[in-house]
């Protein structure tokens, strides 16, 4: 591992370093590593190790009696190595970040991504070879029973398993030399630096993509698929000629079907290995792209969403959006000293009295204002004695600027109403209603209806049992709010 200065290490600029410092404040990233890594991933690993442990104990007693049982015993050991390696990576990572912060264990994290993941891939490939061996044992037992003694022996399984380990190590050995860990002299953190081998397009195409795809996916999946189809065909043919009550035949059938289930699970899981290898080529160095990008993408999209909301919102909606972001929405509260069945009438009486008092005050002020104005008004003073009729295009522009919210009294969704086809059909009638209302000085009765909601005023320490501390909120049709 090398140590370099910030001046030499050109792959991380000051801007990127500042972004990393900002990322250290992302507590949601810490929870992401803890929940999905340490908790969920750790739980799955523990369950997997427990299942493999039981398999090792049970199959270990009988593995010398059957080549297939010996294969399943070896498979459980290889799978346990895979789970232990991944457990070594993901379980401590989330726990350390939760206890000491996001950047705690950063060097441990990068070391795991560069080296421990490749170790896990070696054991995973060994599992793939052993699964092929298990399926081959069942294929010979079901389709070629006359060759079972020569091809299905415990000794042969042990030899092939050893060869699988050696072949997997040799095949994945170049991956340990594709990246090197570089230590920053200021932050003392390791980062992955691509080596000339991984920068070679020939290496990426021939080895990382074609050879790896053939060895890890194409050859195993095609071989397993062929043998599984042949096994199922032979079992179907045997069921027609052999009695199902024979216990030995039923055991052989169950063991064979279990092996096929393992093949199906392996095929699904192995598909991700090849995809991951291609992504490693596209995103180089990949260790810098496997950080907590999920949360940062969510934050970025969330910021863009609310930026657009604030840009197109009216002032009233801005206050509502700010309240939602700050989680400061007021909880509904109603007076507790009035029975629920009398609450609506009590608010109705209170607001009716309040409106009557306001009207009386307005009548007095209007009389005084009219007397003062008429004495000062000259003959050339403009009067407002009529409204200009509205055109369909003016009404269309007004409706287009309406908020998207649909209210209680709306007979149609606002989004649907603002649709071009619907709006074109409704515009002539709507324009006529509006112009007639302006001409006659009255509006249709349906436009006078509203749903009244009593809301406690936005002040601290107000008594919820005092009706004067409430104001009325009118929920009217969208067309009136425009």
Give yes or no for residue 384 having a pLDDT over 60: yes
pTM of this structure: 0.52
Give yes or no for residue 252 having a pLDDT over 50: yes
DSSP category for residue 466: -
Contacts of residues 162-165 at CB distance under 8 Å and 24 or more positions apart, as own/partner, are 164/125, 164/126, 164/129, 164/130, 164/133, 165/126
For the chain, the 3-state helix, strand and coil shares in percent, each to the nearest 5, are: 70, 5, 25
CA distance 219 to 213: 8
% of the chain at pLDDT higher than 70: 74
If you write DSSP's letter for every residue of 204-267 in order, what string do you get? IIIIIIIIHHIIIIIHHHHHHHHHHHHHHHHHHHHHHHS-TT-HHHHHHHHHHHHHHHHHHHHH
pLDDT digits (tens, 9 = 90+) for 454-463: 777 776 677 7
Which of 88-97, 320-329, 336-345, 429-438 has the least mean pLDDT? 320-329
Q: Which two tokens stand for residue 78?
A: 């290889």
Burial code (b: 16+ CB inside 10 Å, e: under 16) for 27-38 equals eebbbbbbeebb
β partners of residue 452: 474
- Mean pLDDT across the chain: 76
Residue scoring higher pLDDT (450 or 47): 47
H/E/C letters for each residue in 324-391? HHCCCCCCCCCCCCCCHHHHHHHHHHHHHHHHHHHHHHHHHHHHHHHHHHHHHCCCCCCCCCCCCCCC
Cα angle: 223, vertex 224, 230; to 5 degrees:
95
> What's the Cα-to-Cα distance from 301 to each of 29, 188, 210, 417, rounded to whole Å?
16, 32, 36, 28
CA distance 406 to 417: 10
pLDDT digits (tens, 9 = 90+) for 329-376: 555 577 878 888 888 888 888 888 888 888 888 777 666 555 555 555
Which of 121-130, 175-184, 248-257, 439-448 has the least mean pLDDT? 248-257
Give yes or no for residue 322 having a pLDDT over 90: no
pLDDT digits (tens, 9 = 90+) for 149-201: 788 888 888 999 999 999 999 999 988 888 888 887 776 777 778 788 877 88
Tell me the pairing of strands 179-184 and 2-4: parallel
Q: Single out the residue of 163, 85, 100, 98 nearest to residue 129, CA to CA.
A: 163
């Amino acid at each position: 591992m090398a140590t370099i200065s910030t001046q030499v290490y050109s792959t991380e600029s000051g801007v990127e370093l500042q972004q990393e410092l900002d990322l250290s404040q992302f507590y949601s990233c810490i929870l992401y590593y803890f929940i999905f890594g340490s908790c969920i991933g750790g739980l799955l690993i523990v369950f997997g190790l427990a299942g493999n442990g039981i398999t090792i104990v049970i199959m270990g007693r009988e593995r010398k009696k059957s080549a297939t049982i010996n294969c399943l015993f070896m498979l459980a050991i290889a799978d346990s190595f895979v789970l232990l390696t991944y457990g070594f990576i993901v379980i401590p990572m989330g726990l350390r970040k939760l206890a000491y912060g996001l950047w705690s264990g950063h060097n441990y994290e990068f070391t795991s991504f560069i080296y421990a993941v490749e170790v896990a891939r070696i054991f995973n490939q060994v599992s793939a070879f052993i699964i092929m061996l298990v399926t081959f044992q069942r294929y010979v037992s079901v389709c070629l029973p006359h060759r079972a003694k020569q091809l299905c022996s415990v000794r042969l399984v042990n030899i092939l398993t050893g060869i699988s380990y050696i072949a997997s190590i040799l095949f994945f050995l170049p991956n340990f030399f594709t990246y090197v860990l570089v230590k920053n002299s200021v932050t003392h953190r390791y980062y992955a630096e691509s080596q000339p081998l991984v920068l070679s397009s020939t290496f990426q195409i021939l080895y990382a993509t074609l050879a790896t795809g053939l060895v890890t996916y194409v050859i195993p999946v095609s071989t397993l698929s062929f043998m599984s189809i042949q096994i199922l065909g032979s079992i179907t043919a045997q069921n027609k000629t052999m009695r199902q009550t024979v216990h030995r035949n039923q055991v052989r059938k169950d063991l064979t079907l279990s092996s096929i289930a393992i093949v199906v699970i392996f095929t699904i899981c192995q598909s991700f290995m090849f995809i991951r290898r291609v992504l490693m080529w596209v995103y180089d160095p990949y260790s810098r792209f496997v950080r907590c990008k999920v949360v940062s993408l969510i934050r970025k999209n969330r910021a863009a969403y609310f930026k657009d909301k604030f840009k197109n919102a009216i002032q009233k909606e801005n206050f509502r959006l700010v309240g939602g972001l700050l989680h400061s929405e007021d909880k509904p509260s109603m007076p507790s000293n009035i029975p629920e069945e009398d609450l609506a009438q009590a608010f109705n009486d209170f607001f009716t009295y309040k409106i009557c008092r306001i009207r009386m005050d307005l009548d007095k002020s209007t009389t005084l204002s009219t007397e003062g104005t008429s004495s000062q008004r000259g003959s050339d003073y403009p009067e407002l004695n009529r409204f200009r009729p509205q055109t369909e295009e003016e009404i269309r522009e007004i409706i287009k600027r309406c908020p998207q919210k649909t209210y209680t009294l709306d007979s149609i969704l606002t989004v649907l109403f603002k649709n071009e086809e619907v709006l074109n059909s409704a515009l002539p009638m709507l324009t006529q209603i509006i112009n007639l209302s302006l001409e006659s000085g009255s509006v249709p009765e349906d436009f006078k209806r509203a749903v009244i909601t009593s809301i406690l005023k936005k002040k601290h320490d107000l008594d919820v049992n005092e009706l004067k501390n409430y104001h009325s909120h009118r929920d009217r049709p969208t067309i009136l709010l425009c």
